[in-house]
Amino acid sequence: MSVPKIEQISAPVILGEGPHWDHDAQALYYIDIKGSTVHKYVPATNTHTTVKIDGGEVSLVIPLEGTKDKFVITVGRNVAILTWDGESSTPTEVKYVSAVDNEKELQDNRLNDGKADPIGRLWAGTMGAESDPEDKFPLTLGSLFSFSKDWKPTKHLSNITVSNGLAWSEDLKSMYYIDSPTRKVEAFDFDAESGKISNRRTAFDFDIHDVLGFPDGMATDTKGKLWVACFEGSQVIRVDPANGKLLRCIPIPALKVTSVAFGGPQLDELYVTSADILTEEQKKMYPESGATFRVTGLGVKGYPGQAVKL
């Protein structure tokens, strides 16, 4: 088995998340939720650019197919279209197109992780606001939504605490999903045409394998295996969703590993985001926390990020 190389490719942010590899542009996009910023990294030129978004925390960035300067982002519990040239520090436009969790008691919720499925339909889930700084996770106030081409949300799951990783099988018959505090990766039967999910079941259980941390973001490789970021686990793991087996552990020099995405010209590089929400003692142990890392030499390939189609 090859020995991977792990390198830091960005300065630390507060809560890095949502890496998305745009294969056409050969660029990585990711966000800093707490900093409300969208980041772009071009490996070929080692160029980093950032744009600040006003109005709330930003949890995802996904290119809008057929455009060079438009992206789907979330701002709080709203979905918006960002117009950005990829270089300026301020956006050209942020146009709000949808909102979720509009009930009065859910006004403090925010959208968290999200992706476009392989046919370009946007999925994103919510989480409740922390009621106490000591709370690791808020109450089960979140839900999972998909969005139609006119931005109408459809709720698929409720009673979610921290809506997180999403991934799909190559044959489009399965969708994988994470509600982090459950310490499980769940699988659903997926109907690509209707966008409906059914037959909820456990694909991988952190408890059974004594895996450190909580499952966060994830990605699928071309062998059908899942790569899962371990928040508070300082690692990324590779698992087989077909039989629930743990296949590999890749140490990451950050305690709170948040998400992963395959990228690079050959799609054989794994980009890994992390968070710098740590105690002073933890920061001494993990000084690179909050950075984005590139892992090479894994011996596997994945898929590029899917743009949103309208």
Catalytic residues: 216
Tokens of 155: 């709720």
Burial 8-24 (b: 16+ CB within 10 A, else e): ebbebbebbbbbbbbbe
DSSP per residue over 54-96, as a string?
Answer: -SS----EEEBTT-SSEEEEEETTEEEEEE--SS-SS-SEEEE
What element of type H or E holds 283?
Answer: helix 280-285
C-alpha dihedral sign at 210, 216, 222, 224:
positive
In order of 3, 51, 229, 292, 294, the CA distances from 76 in angstroms are 40, 17, 23, 23, 28
**Given its phi and psi angles, is residue 234 left (phi above 0), alpha (psi -120 to 50 degrees) or beta?**
left
Q: Could you identify the residue written with the tokens 């839900």?
A: 143
- Where are any strands of DSSP class E within 148-288? 153-160, 163-168, 174-179, 184-191, 196-205, 214-220, 226-231, 235-240, 245-251, 256-263, 269-275
Cα–Cα distance for residue pair 305/263, rounded to 1 Å: 8
Cα–Cα distance for residue pair 283/302, rounded to 1 Å: 31
CB 97 within 8 A of CB 151: yes
